[in-house]
Structure 1
Amino acid sequence: MFRGKDHMTRTFSTAGRLLASASMVALLAACAVTPEPFTKDELATQSVDDRTAMFKGGEPLTGPLTVSDAIARALRYNLDKRSKMMEEALALGQTDVDRWDLLPKLTANAGYNERSEPNATRSRDLYTQTTSTSNPSYSADRVSKTVDLTMSWNVLDFGLTYFTAKSNADRALVATERRRKAVHNLISEVRFAFWRAAAYQTLNDEVNKAVAEARVALGKAKQVEQENLKAPVESLRYQKSLLETLRQLTAIQQELSTARIELAALINVPPGTEIKLAVPETMAPPQWDTSLDRMEEQAFLNNPDLHEQGYLSRITLDDTKKAIIKMLPGVTFSAGRNYDYNSFLMDNHWYEAGAKLSWNLMNVISGPSALKYAESNEEVAKARRIALRMAVLAQVHVSERQFRNASSQFEQSDELWKVDKRLAELSDAKAANDASGMLERVAGHASAIASQLRRFQTYAQVEQAYAKMQATMGDDLLPDSIKAENLGDLSKLVAKRLDQWGKGQMAVTEVAAPASAPVAAQEVAPTEDKSDLLSNVFRFIREGLKQPAEPEKQSEADAPRPNDNRPPMAGDVASAR
């Protein structure tokens, strides 16, 4: 027996030394952690891999690029748009994770315990405090092994998890609206960059030719000055005119030099790629005769910023309900199957069930403050939503006015270009070999080129202003339900929708006729007193848990209602709980 005890003592002594050694090694390893910057080879490898990933999967340019082709490429390959789509997918993935959190916890446990000595005990008389003289006894094996499978469900945690899942579902919808906004901005940028690149393609050869002629004329003028063939003042004035013209042409070159690079970045092709554009022969501003009242209604119904703020308001409402739940007691139900290898037990396996009530009384004390903070946050979100609605209302008017102004400027630039073009043709027809004729010719060509550049620039502003107007109203170029198999099909769909936009057609929902109280009256309506904790609890039970979150559907406040005589307030949430 003593030999067995010595053996167990040596065994535990060895195990203790091993555990101490392992702990020391782990401690030294933790102390040895130091910052490790990337090496040059690692940075070079990362750079090559990222550059390959940037342009991976993109179809090569095979022909002239139309506006619809450029937009289709941007929608499919633009890196910023891809990142927004991944953020949306990540948020949607979180909603799937939250569904599992609503289920009860199922826990499997297995335990092993070994003692060097049996758990032997003696007994003592309760009244006489006399220790029993019988031999010590034990009722558990020296080696203990247990296994159990337990399911538990906490009602309080379920309520908190439920509203957290609702909030995360709304955050997924927020990511969707941010992706919509990114697409709107991307389309606007592509349309603007396309026409700047079109100006470069159209004017680059003419600018180079005019610059060459101006330099030749300037060289001849300097030669005339050196030979004193003309008065110095006249010769210098002539050179000054040529230099001013040359400066103007150089500024045009610099203005156009980055156009293709910007377009290449938007459609995700290498910046040095030669991009051939299919420039239309005629340029005409899109038609637009929709009234401002209708535009306001559509903006209130479809604007992604308003949708986003509405979902954020719902999230703050869920936070208020969570603050109420935390003040309630928690009930935990559990049931499980247990097995114990103890040889002294009559039954080694059994079922077990129970219920436990717990209440953090500190939450009851701090609850009113937390509830007050949550309600204040809710009011702030409401104020932000109203302020944003006013900003969107102003943006509707601003974008419409910008479009009208840009269209007017384009018409004036178009007329001016036609006049300058005719003057340049006349100067070519009557130009002679003398210096004055050369100056008139160079100046005429420079003026015509500058007028044509302004014509392209103002048309690019027209396209950009029109796209911003559509973005303000939340008019999506293509609905999410449309899935194009390849880039060509997507380009055809974009071209068809651009043609509809050019004719002033909107893919929007009809708004019902008005019948309820004005918006201002609803916003300042007195809210229900929430100071009574008991009424809050009953209101939470009655309203907070009666319907699960449905992130795929439009909320009741967002949906247009028949007999409602005001524009639908996208993302509105009820203030009374």
Structure 2
Amino acid sequence: MRKPAAKTLGIVMAGALLSACANFESKPAGKDEMQKRVVDDQRLMYANQEPVTGPITFYEAAARALKYNLDYRLKLMESALAANLRDVSSYEMLPKLVASAGRTGRNNDSGGTSIGIEDGQVSLRPSTSEERYHNLSGLTLSWSVLDFGIAYYRAQQKNDQILMAEERRRKVAQNVLQDVRNAYWRALSAQRLKPEVDALLRQTQKALTAAREAEAKGFLPKQEALAYQRALLDSVYLLTVRRQDLEFAQAELVALMSLPPGTKMVLAESVEQALPTSNVDVAELEQLALESRPEIMEEWYRKRVNQTDIDIAKMQLWPNIGVDFSGQYDSNAYLYNNSWSQAGIRVSLNLLQLLQLPSLNAAQQAQAQTDDTRRIALSMAVLTQVRIGTLRYQLASQELAFADDSLRVDANLLEYARAAKSTSIGNQLEVIRAEGRYLLSRYQREAAYSSAQAAWGRMYNSVGFDVLPETIDQQDVKTLANAIQATVTEQQLRRPKYLLNTGSSGVEAVPVAQ
């Protein structure tokens, strides 16, 4: 009766286990769980950030963006993960050392008898040489040439993947710095111009009200009054649009630096320096770009990774040589020797796998051609970026020169209007219109300077220059800002003359004299 009962119990337990697995369903996250996740994510976004204690320079903005930018931190983690995976794969080249222990048992004796081959007669009575219950243990050392070779190639592949991750980190860092450069100068312009724009908007609204009253009371001809109102409304519209641009610029810089919401941000003011000349040697820039751009280097390492995959597949066609050595112990009392050691060597070869060799050779050649074509296409795109970046900087420099001329003319017009100011409404409105034109010219000049800075940074970035120190996480914002500035200076000293003395690398500007 014991066997049917045990069998029935086993069937019941198996059925219960299968039923539990079949009824297992994933449940969507609850509202409380989602709210907790949101709170935790928001806390992690701004965790361990240094507070803003003073005006922020360009280099400090770049340091904060690189230290706290989530995209850059993600690339740092990817680089660390690739290095850890390399360390793990390096252990695969070691021999395998396996320790085992266990206990075996059965419900009856293991044994047998012998019969004669010719007559079929029993020659020995049934006997056993194994205890029903006994312990086993062993220690086996094995090494395979094929496993070692594959692990060696995998380790080399992981090294190349680390280099690829490092190139991606370089690219993200360069893009972050470029974004900071674009946003910083626009945000600095916003900091300078917003108070003046707000004051002029209030003054323009008052003048618009006065013009309407003058029209209603007949102090001005109707056509002239309407023309002044039209001019004032156009000025209000343009100033409002420009003010929105200024708001967006500051919000963009705050986001790039990953500052917590509500953080007060003041940008540092200093002497504006001239931008470098737009006369550059495009051919030398292109050569530098082909040597330095992270995307091209990543594709070069990718080619080596892909070639390693083919090499591993070819290695699996080789004969495999394995060596084993082990020590064993068995507590079986019927054994003559309860402990022993053994060694062996084996050679194996899958003959049918040799048929893959022509296909592998063709795949290797096709893979190499594909990788080269992809890299060459990317190189062509890089050269195009360099040429376009150079042209954009030249045009931005011309636009800045034109904006300087316009600002000078509007400043003189404003001075003339103020000198000719009288108590008449027409003259007062003319002064307001001149102030509006002057402020718009200032905005256009600041925008042109910001665009020139961005164009210079884009051209500098298109070459692929590094402007980062070796370490970032271990430094505070101030130290990191100084390290970035020193790295930029050192980088410039090692480059051609047309990349020296770049005021756009981080020199903050001051307002134009009024």
> Is the shorter-chain TM-score for this pair beyond 0.5, marking a shared fold?
yes
> How much is the aligned-residue C-alpha RMSD, in angstroms?
2.5
Aligned residue for 2:300? 310
Q: Displacement, 1:247?
A: 0.8
Deviation at 1:20, TM superposition (A): 4.5
Q: Does the CA contact (< 8 Å) of 1:108 and 1:148 recur in 2?
A: yes
After TM superposition, the structure 1 = structure 2 runs for residues 344-383 of structure 1, keeping only pairs within 5 Å, are: 344-383=334-373
Distance 2:87 2:108 in 1: 51
Asked if the contact 1:475/1:506 (under 8 Å) is kept, the reply is: no
**2:502 aligns to what?**
none
TM-score, scaled to structure 2: 0.89
Q: Distance in 1 between matches of 2:488 and 2:411?
A: 30
Q: Is the 8 A contact 2:115 2:123 kept in 1?
A: no
Provide, for residues 72-102 of structure 1, a one-character-per-residue CA deviation record: whole Å limited to 9, x for no partner: 2122222211111111111111111111011
Asked whether the 8 Å contact 1:178–1:304 carries over to 2, the reply is yes
Q: Deviation at 1:277?
A: 0.7
Matches within 5 A, 1:497-576: 497-498=487-488, 505-506=493-494
Whether 2:63 is the aligned partner of 1:72: answer yes
Aligned to 2:85: 94
Relative to structure 1, is the Cα distance of residues 361 and 144 closer, same or farther in structure 2, using a 3 angstrom cutoff? farther
Identify which of 385, 395, 400 aligns with 1:395: 385
Which residue does the alignment assign to 2:458? 468
Q: 1:218 touches 1:242 (CA, 8 Å); kept in 2?
A: yes
Q: Is 2:400–2:448's contact at 8 Å kept on the other side of the alignment?
A: yes
- The Cα offsets for residues 306-339 of structure 1, whole Å up to 9 and x where unpaired, read as 2111111111221221222122232222111111
Q: 1:80-128 CA deviation, whole Å, 9 max, x = no partner?
A: 1111111111111111111101111222222332211112323232222
1:195 is matched with: 185
SS at match of 2:347: strand
> In the alignment, does 2:104 pair up with 1:109?
no
What SS is found at the alignment partner of 2:110? coil
Instruction: Give the CA deviation at 1:507.
Output: 5.5
Unaligned runs of 5+ in 1: 1-8, 509-577
For the residue of structure 2 that corresponds to 1:136, the secondary structure is: strand
1:205 alignment counterpart:
195
Could you tell me which residue of structure 1 aligns to residue 26 of structure 2? 35
1:54 aligns with 2:13: no
Give the AA of the match of 2:176. L
Percent sequence identity is 32
Deviation of 1:402 (Å): 2.1
Residue 213 of structure 1, CA deviation: 1.7
More deviation, 342-351/172-181 = 342-351
- Structure 1 residues 165 and 484, CA gap change in structure 2 (3 angstroms): closer
Q: Which moved more, 1:243-252 or 1:466-475?
A: 466-475
Corresponding position: 1:145 with 2:135: yes
Deviation at 1:218, TM superposition (A): 2.1
Bigger helix fraction: 2
Deviation at 1:172, TM superposition (A): 0.6
Kept in 1: contact 2:90–2:151 (CA 8 A): no
Counterpart position of 2:258: 268
Count matched residues: 496
RCO higher in structure (CA 8 A, sep ≥6): 2
Counterpart AA for 2:288? Q
Amino acid at match of 2:69: N
* Alignment match, 1:407: 397
SS at match of 1:122: strand
The Cα offsets for residues 540-559 of structure 1, whole Å up to 9 and x where unpaired, read as xxxxxxxxxxxxxxxxxxxx
Kindly provide the amino acid, as one letter, of the partner of residue 58 in structure 1.
Q
Q: What corresponds to 2:507 in structure 1?
A: none
What corresponds to 1:118 in structure 2?
A: 109
**1:280 — aligned with what?**
270
1:302/1:473 contact within 8 Å kept: yes
What do residues 192-218 of structure 1 show as CA deviations (whole Å, max 9, x unaligned)? 111111111101011111111222222
Cα distance in 1 for partners of 2:395, 2:305 equals 40
* Contact in 2 for aligned 1:181/1:471 (Cα 8 Å): no
Match of 1:293? 283
Q: In structure 2, do the counterparts of structure 1 residues 348 and 368 end up closer, same or farther at CA, with 3 Å as the change threshold?
A: same
Instruction: Give yes or no for contact 1:475–1:507 (8 Å, CA) kept in 2.
Output: no
Distance 2:17 2:436 in 1: 77
Change over 3 Å in CA distance of 1:357–1:374 after alignment to 2: same
Letter in structure 1 aligned against 2:443 = L
Distance in 2 (alpha carbons) for counterparts of 1:188 and 1:196: 13
How much has 1:470 moved relative to structure 2? Answer: 2.4
TM-score, length of structure 1 as denominator length: 0.80
- Which whole-Å CA distance do the structure 2 matches of 1:139 and 1:14 have between them? 32
Question: What do the CA deviations read for 1:429-453 (whole angstroms, capped 9, x no partner)?
Answer: 3334444223322322222222222
Assess, with a 3 A threshold, how the Cα gap between structure 1 residues 84 and 73 changes in structure 2: closer, same or farther: same
Equivalent residue for 1:564?
none
Secondary structure, aligned partner of 2:150 = helix
Contact residue 70 and residue 267 of structure 1 kept, 8 A: yes
1:452 matched residue in structure 2: 442
The question of whether the paired residues in 1 share the 8 Å contact of 2:145 and 2:322 is answered with yes
With over 3 angstroms needed to count, the CA separation of the structure-2 counterparts of 1:29 and 1:439, relative to structure 1, is farther
Gaps of 5+ in 2: 497-514
* Shift in alpha-carbon separation, 1:109–1:18, aligned structure 2, 3 A: farther
Match among 210, 223, 228 for residue 220 of structure 1: 210
